[in-house]
């Protein structure tokens, strides 16, 4: 992000959390796979997993390639975003494979400590914003303009928001500037924590099915858009620097070119997985497809990753330099 504001990056589906993201042991690797690593021992590869489905997709695709092609012993420590940076600095985590900015952490760990390195773009374009279910945009077309939100505030009242309209956010451990936006845009709303990506998605499903009002924070890349075409509310346009002060921000979220990070220690280790991570690049559609396998089809993350790998060997070969 081009800001150090708190952004809610909503938690992965409960099914994903329960899918055993803790470890994938390195099994015997064929001679061909050993050769593809240039003869170097990969050893352990610890990929941080942040709790949203798209991140899980990145992590397990990279992890499965590293395991089956490079002979890495891959594990997936589940951590919050900032904790992942700390882990790279203290040597307990090797990589974060979908980073949403954090300029304050960039300054601390990359610029000052030099314990973390930028490993290049993932190829994913990130969008954050406020959304309403399709039925609302159809019935109240002007609701997608933030200037009209106060007109509809009473409609969004809940027991949690009291006499104000509710703006539903996700896990409080992620970054958001919604509190500041509500205050600085003089909106008669209260930010209410929803708790997880799964809870947020279920809220949208229920709102659309029952034709109940819902205004909520959401983001892309996101597999759920293939199931429901949520409609984004237009906040004041983002311009460079408009979010520089978290206390006074009154503009929309910026576009995000998502990137990868690696610990400096890991970067200097000689592991063949370093180049794999740096070379990893795919599209929002790629990520959303794997996420759909996991979240909607109920596949194990490794199985979902392997399915995508089998169908996209040309991309995988490019990451491996073969």
pLDDT at 28: 38
pLDDT exceeds cutoff 70 at 35? no
Average pLDDT of the chain to the nearest whole number: 89
Could you give the percent of the chain with pLDDT greater than 90?
80
Higher-confidence residue: 175 or 181? 181
Higher-confidence residue: 192 or 25? 192
Q: Per-residue pLDDT tens for 144-160?
A: 999 999 999 999 999 99
Helix (H) or strand (E) holding 203: helix 197-210
pLDDT at 40: 67
SS3 at position 310? helix
**DSSP string across 283-294:** -HHHHHHHHHHH
Residue 225 burial (10 A CB sphere; 0-12, 13-18, 19+): middle
Q: Which of 20, 44, 46, 70 is nearest to 261 (CA)?
A: 46
pLDDT at 20: 39
Rounded mean pLDDT, 42-71: 96
On whether the CB atoms of residues 238 and 252 are closer than 8 A, the answer is yes
Cα angle, residue 69 at apex, residues 68 and 71 outer, rounded to 5°: 70
SS3 at position 122? strand
* Helix, strand, coil distribution of the chain in percent, nearest 5: 40, 20, 40
Q: How far apart are CA 52 and CA 78, in angstroms?
A: 11
Residue 172 — very low, low, confident or very high, per pLDDT cuts 50/70/90? confident
Rounded mean pLDDT, 190-195: 90
For 161, residues 6+ apart whose C-beta sits below 8 A from its C-beta are 189, 190, 192
Tell which phi-psi region holds residue 123, choosing left (phi > 0), alpha (psi between -120 and 50) or beta: left
Q: Which of 49, 1, 42, 4 is nearest to 22 (CA)?
A: 49
pLDDT at 171: 78
Rounded mean pLDDT, 13-36: 39
Tell which phi-psi region holds residue 143, choosing left (phi > 0), alpha (psi between -120 and 50) or beta: alpha
Higher-confidence residue: 11 or 96? 96
pLDDT at 6: 40
| Weakest mean pLDDT among 30-44, 84-98, 251-265, 302-316 | 30-44
Domains for the chain: give ranges and CATH numbers.
Answer: 14-124+258-320 (3.40.190.10), 127-232 (3.40.190.100)
pLDDT at 7: 41
Residue 102 — very low, low, confident or very high, per pLDDT cuts 50/70/90? confident
pLDDT exceeds cutoff 70 at 30? no
> 313-320 vs 53-70: helix axis angle to the nearest 10?
70
pLDDT exceeds cutoff 90 at 215? yes
DSSP state of 106: I
Q: Per-residue pLDDT tens for 45-59?
A: 999 999 899 999 999
Q: Provide φ and ψ at 227, rounded to 5°.
A: -95, -40
pLDDT exceeds cutoff 80 at 289? yes
DSSP state of 109: I
């Amino acid at each position: 992000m081009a800001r150090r504001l708190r952004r809610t990056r909503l938690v992965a589906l409960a099914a994903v959390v329960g899918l055993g993201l803790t470890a994938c042991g390195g099994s015997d690797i064929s001679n061909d796979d050993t050769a593809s690593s240039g003869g170097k021992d990969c050893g352990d590869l610890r990929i941080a997993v942040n709790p949203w489905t798209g991140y899980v997709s990145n992590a397990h695709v990279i992890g499965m390639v590293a395991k089956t092609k490079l002979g890495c012993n891959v594990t997936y420590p589940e951590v919050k975003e900032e904790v992942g940076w700390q882990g790279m600095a203290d040597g307990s985590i090797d990589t974060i494979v979908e980073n949403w900015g954090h300029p304050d952490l960039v300054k601390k760990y990359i610029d000052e400590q030099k314990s973390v390195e930028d490993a290049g773009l993932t190829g994913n374009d990130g969008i954050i914003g406020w959304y309403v279910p399709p039925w609302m945009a159809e019935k109240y077309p002007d609701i997608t303009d933030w200037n009209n939100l106060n007109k509809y505030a009473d409609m969004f009242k809940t027991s949690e928001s009291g006499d104000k309209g509710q703006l539903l956010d996700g896990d409080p451990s992620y970054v958001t500037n919604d509190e500041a936006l509500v205050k600085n845009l003089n909106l008669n709303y209260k930010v209410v924590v929803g708790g997880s990506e799964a809870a947020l998605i279920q809220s949208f499903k229920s709102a659309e099915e029952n034709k109940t009002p819902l205004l909520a924070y959401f983001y892309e890349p996101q597999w759920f858009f293939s199931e429901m075409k949520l409609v984004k509310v237009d906040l004041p346009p983002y311009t460079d620097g408009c979010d520089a002060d978290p206390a006074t921000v009154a503009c929309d979220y910026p576009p995000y070119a998502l990137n990868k990070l690696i610990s400096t220690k890991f970067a200097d280790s000689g592991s063949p997985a370093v180049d794999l991570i740096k070379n990893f690049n795919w599209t929002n559609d790629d990520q959303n497809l794997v996420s759909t396998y996991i979240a909607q089809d109920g596949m194990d993350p490794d199985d979902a990753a392997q399915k995508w790998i089998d169908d996209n060997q040309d991309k995988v070969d490019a990451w491996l330099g073969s």
